[in-house]
């Protein structure tokens, strides 16, 4: 984790939301799933190329078409699903740890403010900021069942760096 994320996290509760998200990727073995999906996609493109060649279609065309189909029809949607799963479980982990889960929504509101030139969601590995905020708000009733405010617990502000 780089301290630059402190500007988005702002405080311990925001950092807990971010860390919960990242820990979830490891717990859910998203990296291993992506490797497996990559192998399956490559295999599918190869099979498609062979079938296309049997019908006299240029293998380069079938590889390009199959690659695009795999990327936009399988890999990117699964990646966005992994990100949403990490947001959901990370929200619950932060709440279980005693951090107000509402701060996760504020993290993504701040992320939206500092992010420039985001690609359309369907071209991205991540859900759009607005999608994430809506999902977090939808999961909030569940997260609040995990959250138990600790009397006297104060959430510390993080040291912020100047934005460039």
pLDDT digits (tens, 9 = 90+) for 79-134: 999 999 999 999 999 999 999 999 999 999 999 998 888 888 888 889 999 999 99
- With CA atoms as reference, report the closest residue to 93 among 145, 21, 27: 21
Please, what is the end-to-end C-alpha distance for the chain in angstroms? 19
Close Cβ partners of 70 (under 8 Å, ≥ 6 residues apart): 41, 44, 45
Tokens found for residue 19 = 């860390």
User: What pTM does this model have?
Assistant: 0.80
Which H or E run includes 148?
none
Catalytic residue of the set 22, 142, 157, 161: 22
- With CA atoms as reference, report the closest residue to 84 among 32, 25, 43, 37: 25
**15 contacts 162 by C-beta, under 8 angstroms:** no
Which residue reads 């859910």 in tokens?
28
Whether the pLDDT of residue 163 is over 80: the answer is no
Tokens found for residue 120 = 């359309």
pLDDT in tens, 137-160: 999 999 999 998 877 777 888 887
Helix, strand, coil shares of the chain, percent, nearest 5, are: 75, 0, 25
The predicted model gives 59-77 an average pLDDT of 84
Active site residue 112: no
Q: Exposure pattern of 88-110 as b/e (b: 16+ CB <10 Å)?
A: bbbbbbbbeebbbbbbbbbbbeb
Task: Give the percent of the chain with pLDDT over 90.
Answer: 47
Taking the domains of the chain in order of start, what are their residue ranges? 13-146
């Amino acid at each position: 984790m780089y301290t630059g994320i402190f500007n988005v996290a702002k405080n311990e509760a925001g950092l807990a939301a971010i860390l919960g998200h990242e820990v979830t990727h490891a717990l859910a073995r998203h990296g291993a799933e992506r490797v497996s999906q990559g192998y399956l996609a490559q295999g599918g493109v190869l099979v498609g190329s062979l079938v296309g060649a049997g019908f006299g279609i240029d293998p380069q065309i079938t590889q390009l078409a199959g690659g695009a189909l795999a990327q936009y029809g399988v890999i990117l949607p699964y990646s966005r699903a992994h990100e949403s799963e990490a947001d959901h479980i990370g929200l619950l982990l932060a709440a279980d740890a005693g951090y107000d889960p509402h701060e996760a929504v504020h993290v993504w509101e701040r992320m939206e403010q500092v992010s420039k030139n985001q690609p359309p969601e369907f071209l991205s590995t991540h859900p759009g900021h607005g999608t994430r905020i809506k999902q977090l708000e939808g999961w909030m009733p569940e997260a609040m069942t995990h959250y138990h405010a600790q009397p006297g617990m104060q959430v510390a502000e993080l040291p912020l760096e100047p934005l460039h």
